Copies of this chain bind each other. A is one copy, B any other.
């Protein structure tokens, strides 16, 4: 390692800032210059929506470091409002434009780190002072100023992903009437449809209109308002519109330099975070990563991986053999009062990769049910057959969702199996958990499936079973529960009466059992199987079925 090497960093947020600080801690003698096109470095990207909503009240809270603090602490030459406009690989220089003076100059490098991030996908035909995207602090101020000066009463948010829902929540909090338009059948497409249904209901319970399977086709502006035309169901008049339909790698610099990109435009890097030019590293939202679960290339822009990659790139440049082993997509979102978290792959990805997978749904309380304030969470775990390898998990609920998802994320990173989940020894006291934590329960449930103690069926099997002659549909809840609401075609024998009423069941049929959440159904299945029946238990029970089929979001009709 050359001690006096010169390192240039393009982009001063997340991965770039982390790389700069780590580089300096590893080398006092390196010359380090960090270029940032915007005015700010090291800003709290993920906090921007909360500033708009008013939860974060101080602008200063959004910038974690300033060029001055970075110079003092790390002796980094930070140049804000300086845009790197070209990488000249043959001369190992970059061309830089000072955006305040328009002066263009070149700077040489031994090593170059690209941390150019991602940019929002927007639609060129949608241009207006009332139409916004959100990427950086300037965008944030623009929206905030609009709220403060124009006092909009309502907003249409196009896109039901993480940013879309965060903006929905924060603008709702700021007092606006909110409409969400999403072009898919569910919001948060890192989640599966079945796990999004509770979230749809929760969003609608706040008075927000949710247009699923809808697109914005065009708009006109009239009397200071926007007239939005949807592809169906007509028009919406609104004071403002936010496009949050996704982001894409900001990789034009890399592309122009002839570095290898994926077909989606993400910079291709190795485990060492080197691009196709070994003197150029790339990190963060601009790069493609390996999916930690499938081993396939994937584009998952997240702050955690960006920061880790920045650290690793710095290590490599200073001769340390650090490597990046892939991204598993651990993500979390607060949706009003709810929390939605996921890690690993979802069913769509499992199917695309042709994996032999199964899934379970369980509903558990966040802490001991007898201790006040217990709330339910819905957990979906996807695992490989027959190994029990954990592939992914999705959780929605309230308190304690983040904890269970992080435990599952750790288990996935540690290449643990569902059997290991059953053995985890987690911290228990009544205010925090149960003696059998929800994650343990997931392990028990999967173990019972893998070892053949119970066979399951799913919510999407019900419709066919209702028409199938070979199927006997059995609801083992109490008569009161059954009488209140049940799925068409099911007959009722409470689990606690089942042993005495076996003669009522036709042994030539397959018995498909449901209860409320799956626990009693499992006990019933065990009774039936041991008495010679072929029985199946509905994973997630009636409660899950109802959340999917019970009541559609109004605007989804």
Q: Show the binding face of A for B, using Cβ within 8 Å.
A: 14, 24-29, 44, 46-47, 50, 55-56, 61-62, 64, 72-75, 292, 302-308, 311, 320, 325, 327-334, 339, 341-343, 368, 370-372, 402-403, 405-407, 409-411, 413-414, 416, 420, 422-433, 435-437, 440, 444, 451, 453, 495-496, 499, 522-523, 526-527, 530-531
Contacts and interface: CB of A to CB of B under 8 A. Distances in A.
B406 A426 contact: yes
A222 to B, nearest CB: 37
A334 B373 CA distance: 15
Given A72-B496, A370-B61, A425-B327, A430 B50 contact: yes
A331 B435 CA distance: 11
A424 B436 contact: no
A406 B407 contact: yes
Contacts of A311: 444
Q: What are the 5 tightest A-B residue pairs by CB atom distance, in nearest-first order?
A: A414-B414, A332-B427, A303-B435, A72-B496, A403-B403
A8 to B, nearest CB: 21
Nearest to A27: B530
Protomer copies: 2
Given A46-B368, A56-B371, A371-B56, A331 B495 contact: no
A372 B426 contact: no
Contacts of A422: 308
A429 B523 contact: no
7 contacts: A28-B530, A307-B436, A308-B440, A320-B451, A332-B433, A339-B432, A409-B427
A453 B341 CA distance: 35
Contacts of A339: 432
Nearest to A58: B370
A432 B25 CA distance: 28
A405 B425 contact: no
Contacts of A410: 407, 410-411, 414, 416, 424, 426
Nearest to A57: B372
A321 to B, nearest CB: 10
A282 B266 CA distance: 58
Contact of A330 (B371, B426, B523, B527): B426
Given A406-B406, A426-B330, A427-B332, A50 B435 contact: no
A337 B370 CA distance: 20
Contacts of A424: 409-410, 413
A332 B56 CA distance: 32
Contacts of A430: 44, 46-47, 50
B431 A368 contact: no
B411 A427 contact: no
B370 A426 contact: no
A428 B437 CA distance: 22
B306 A435 contact: yes
A195 to B, nearest CB: 15
A305 B440 CA distance: 11
Nearest to A419: B322
Nearest to A499: B75
A343 B427 contact: yes
Given A28-B531, A47-B370, A47-B371, 18 more contacts: A28-B499, A46-B368, A46-B435, A55-B372, A62-B370, A302-B428, A303-B435, A304-B426, A304-B436, A308-B425, A331-B427, A331-B429, A334-B429, A341-B427, A406-B406, A411-B414, A413-B423, A413-B424
Contacts of A325: 423
Contacts of A405: 427
B25 A526 contact: yes
Contacts of A527: 28
A304 B370 contact: no
B420 A414 contact: yes
Q: Which of A341, A414, A429 has the most CB of B within 10 A?
A: A429
A405 B429 CA distance: 13
A371 B55 contact: yes
A305 B330 CA distance: 29
Given A303-B435, A429-B332, A423 B308 contact: yes
Contacts of A414: 410-411, 414, 416, 420
Contacts of A330: 425-428
Interface centre among A44, A329, A331, A437 (most CB of B within 10 A): A44
A68 to B, nearest CB: 10
Nearest to A426: B406
A269 B270 CA distance: 50
A495 B406 CA distance: 35
| Most interface-central of A328, A425, A431, A530 (chain B CB within 10 A) | A425
